[in-house]
Amino acid sequence: MTTIGWVRHGITDWNVEKKAQGQTDIPLNDTGRAQARALAERFRHETWDAVYTSDLSRARETAETIAKALGIPLYVDERLREKGCGKIEGTTEDDRIRMWGEDWREMELGIETEESMISRGTELVRQVCERHPGQRVLLVSHGALISTMLPALVANMETREHLHNTSVTLIRKLDELWVCDLYNCRRHLDAVNL
């Protein structure tokens, strides 16, 4: 039975400003780095065998903090990147309405489809399970990718709330089915007043 811990990266200035980051490489801010350290401290009390991360620096730095603290291997894989947001990257909701109107979501703005994210994410998860049978593996990624992948993997799962920065969601494979044991947990942040 393979267990996967999906982790959203620490916070960035664009998260605070509510700008669509997409695949623009925005780094963690100081709060995001503190969140990553708090998460690594949480994981010291758990058993993890490896960590995979998006190549975007906000996820990679989060994952590097964890891997270093735990002394586990780190693998970088661009399939864990955030949803490509095309022309809306770097914009807020107000910017998008001003530029394209209220119906901007229905326009062709070069935004990656859910099918594309599910295809690359599913292939990565399959390979992780093959490489790490019976192990516990962290996947450090991004809000839209994780929110899209969870219902694609776990039957009858709805992502009930916005995924918080450095939140942890645990899924495990039983036979051919995935089940969710923990969703959007951020208890590690309580101790650091973030």
Q: Which residues are catalytic?
A: 9, 82
Per the document, the length of the chain is 194
Q: Tell whether 13 is in a known binding site.
A: yes
Write the Ramachandran bin of 94: left for phi over 0, alpha for psi from -120 to 50, otherwise beta.
Answer: alpha
Write the Ramachandran bin of 63: left for phi over 0, alpha for psi from -120 to 50, otherwise beta.
Answer: alpha
Q: Tell whether 58 is in a known binding site.
A: yes
46 phi and psi angles, rounded to 5 deg = -130, 170
Q: Tell whether 95 is in a known binding site.
A: no
Element (H, E) at 52: strand 50-53
Q: Tell whether 12 is in a known binding site.
A: yes
Q: Tell whether 118 is in a known binding site.
A: no
Q: Tell whether 8 is in a known binding site.
A: yes
Q: Looking at residue 56, what DSSP letter applies?
A: S
**What b/e sequence results for 156-176 when a residue is b if at least 16 CB atoms lie within 10 Å of its CB, and e otherwise?**
ebebeeebebbbbbbbbbeee
Specify binding-site residues. 8-15, 58
Specify binding-site residues for substrate. 8-15, 58
